[in-house]
C-alpha cells in the first residue's frame, strides 16, 4: 500500500493517543481505501504492550448513505480493527440514529471480530422505519444527515470541492428516491434490506418509552385520567386551516375544534366535488388533553413536544400477512409489495 501522507499521530496533546487519517483497505466487496481516526490508551501497542477491545462507529461518508456499499465497507472496517496490533480482536459497535442503523446492516453480514452491538434509536427496516411505511411520502421528510456532505461532498469545502451541479449529479437524493419507489419489493429497497435472523452477536437495542395513560387504564386498571369513564371524548375534530407556525402548540389551539361521541360523526353530509378516489391516506394522532382541554405533550427524541403516538397508512397497502412470524394482532405485519395493492372502492366499508 502506498505511503499515507495524511496520517498524523499525536501522543502528547490528549490523555490518549490520537491517530488521524489511518488507512483502512477495502478488499472484500470492492477495492479502495477508507480513512478513520483512532483513539488509543497511552499503553496500547505499538506504543505500549497492551491490547484493548475496540468500540467502532461508522458515519455517513458516501453519496448514497443508505446504500448496500456502506455496510459492505463497514464489514471491512470491523475485520480490519479486529486484526490491528492494539486490538484484542473483539469489536463492538455503538451509536445513535444513523450510527445505530448501520450496525444492524453490517452485523447481518457477520464480519470476523464483531462481538456485540448497541444501536440507540436506530432503524432496522429502511422502508418501514424511515421512508414510507406504506403511506404517502411527506415533502418535509428528507435526509437530515449529513447536511455538509450533501452540499459539499466533504465535511469541509475546499478548492478541490466539485461544482454543485457535479455534486448533485453524483449523489442520490433520498427524498426523490422515496417518492419514486413506492413498494417494498422494488430493487431499490431489496438492496437495502437484510435478514435480522442473520445477526448472531449479542445486542442491546435502546429506544424511548414514555408514560402513556391509555396503557395504564386498560392494562393496569389505573384509570386516573378518565379514559374508561368517558371523560375523554371518543372523537375530537379539529379544522386545521391556515398556518399555525412550527412547534407552536398554543397557536394550534386557535384552530376550531369540538368533541364528538361517535364516528362517523352523526349528521355528516358528504358533498363529493371530484371523482371517487381509489386511494386514501390515513393519518391518526393520539393526543392527551388535561382537564382544561389543553394538550399534554411528551418529549420526543429531538427534545421536541410530541403527542402520545402517530400512525399513518396508505389504504391500498393495507393487506396484512398474518402468517409472518413478526405478525401480532396488536401490531399487524404488512409486506407492502406491489402485488398486494388493493384500491379502495366507493360505497364499500373497510375494517371493523
Q: Residues 90, 217: one domain?
A: no
Question: In DSSP terms, which residues pair with 313 in a beta bridge?
Answer: 282
- Phi and psi at 210, nearest 5°, equal -115, 165
0.75 exceeded by pTM: no
What is the Cβ-side half-sphere exposure of residue 9, based on CA atoms within 13 angstroms? 8
Residue-range definition of the domain harbouring residue 283 = 213-340
Give yes or no: residues 14 and 87 share one domain: yes
How far apart CA 7 and CA 38 sit, in angstroms, is 11
Calpha distance 315→126 (Å, rounded): 20
User: Is 159 found in the same domain as 279?
Assistant: no
Is the model's pLDDT at 246 over the cut of 70? no
Q: Is 63 exposed, middle or buried (0-12, 13-18, 19+ CB in 10 A)?
A: middle
The domain boundary, picked from 153, 171, 198, lies at 198
Domain identity same for 159 and 19: yes
Q: Does residue 223 belong to any structural domain of this protein?
A: yes
- Any domain includes 159: yes
208, part of any domain:
no
**Same-domain status, 59 and 189:** yes
Query: For residue range 140-189, what is the model confidence (pLDDT) as tens digits?
Result: 333 343 344 444 444 444 455 556 666 666 666 777 777 787 888 888 77
77 within domain boundaries: yes
Q: What is the number of structural domains in the chain?
A: 2
Q: Which residue, 198, 230, 259, sits at the end of a domain?
A: 198
Chain segment 35-80, per-residue pLDDT in tens? 899 999 999 999 989 999 898 887 765 566 777 778 888 999 999 9
Helices 98-107 + 68-83 axis angle, to 10: 80
Taking the CB of residue 332, how many other CB atoms lie within 10 A of it? Answer: 14
Amino acid at each position: 500500500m502506498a505511503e499515507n501522507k495524511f496520517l498524523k499521530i499525536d501522543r502528547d496533546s490528549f490523555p490518549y493517543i490520537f491517530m488521524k487519517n489511518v488507512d483502512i483497505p477495502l478488499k472484500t466487496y470492492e477495492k479502495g481505501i477508507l480513512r478513520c481516526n483512532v483513539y488509543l490508551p497511552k499503553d496500547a501497542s505499538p506504543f505500549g504492550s497492551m491490547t484493548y477491545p475496540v468500540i467502532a462507529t461508522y458515519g455517513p461518508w458516501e453519496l448514497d448513505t443508505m446504500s448496500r456499499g456502506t455496510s459492505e465497507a463497514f464489514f471491512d472496517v470491523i475485520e480490519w480493527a479486529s486484526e490491528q496490533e492494539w486490538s484484542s480482536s473483539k469489536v463492538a459497535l455503538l451509536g445513535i440514529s444513523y450510527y445505530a442503523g448501520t450496525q444492524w446492516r453490517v452485523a447481518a453480514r457477520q464480519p470476523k471480530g464483531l462481538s456485540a452491538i448497541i444501536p440507540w434509536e436506530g432503524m432496522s427496516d429502511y422502508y418501514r422505519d424511515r421512508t414510507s411505511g406504506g403511506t404517502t411520502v411527506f415533502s418535509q421528510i428528507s435526509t437530515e444527515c449529513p447536511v455538509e456532505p450533501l452540499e459539499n461532498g466533504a465535511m469541509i469545502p475546499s478548492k478541490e470541492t466539485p461544482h454543485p451541479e457535479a455534486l448533485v449529479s453524483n449523489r442520490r437524493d433520498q427524498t426523490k428516491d422515496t417518492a419514486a419507489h413506492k413498494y417494498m419489493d422494488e430493487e431499490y429497497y431489496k438492496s437495502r434490506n437484510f435478514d435480522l435472523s442473520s445477526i448472531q452477536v449479542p445486542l442491546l437495542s435502546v429506544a424511548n418509552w414514555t408514560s402513556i395513560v391509555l396503557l395504564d387504564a386498560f392494562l393496569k386498571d389505573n384509570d386516573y385520567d378518565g379514559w374508561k369513564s368517558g371523560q375523554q371524548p371518543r372523537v375530537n375534530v379539529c379544522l386545521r386551516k391556515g398556518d399555525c407556525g412550527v412547534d407552536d402548540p398554543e397557536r394550534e389551539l386557535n384552530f376550531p375544534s369540538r368533541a364528538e361521541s361517535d364516528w362517523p360523526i352523526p349528521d355528516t353530509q358528504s358533498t363529493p366535488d371530484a371523482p371517487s378516489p381509489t386511494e386514501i391516506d390515513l393519518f391518526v394522532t393520539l393526543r392527551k388533553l388535561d382537564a382544561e382541554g389543553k394538550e399534554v405533550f411528551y418529549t420526543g427524541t429531538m427534545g421536541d413536544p410530541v403527542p402520545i403516538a402517530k400512525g399513518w397508512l396508505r389504504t391500498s397497502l393495507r393487506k396484512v400477512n398474518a402468517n409472518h412470524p413478526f405478525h401480532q394482532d396488536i401490531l399487524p405485519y404488512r409486506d407492502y409489495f406491489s402485488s398486494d395493492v388493493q384500491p379502495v372502492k366507493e360505497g364499500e366499508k373497510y375494517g371493523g
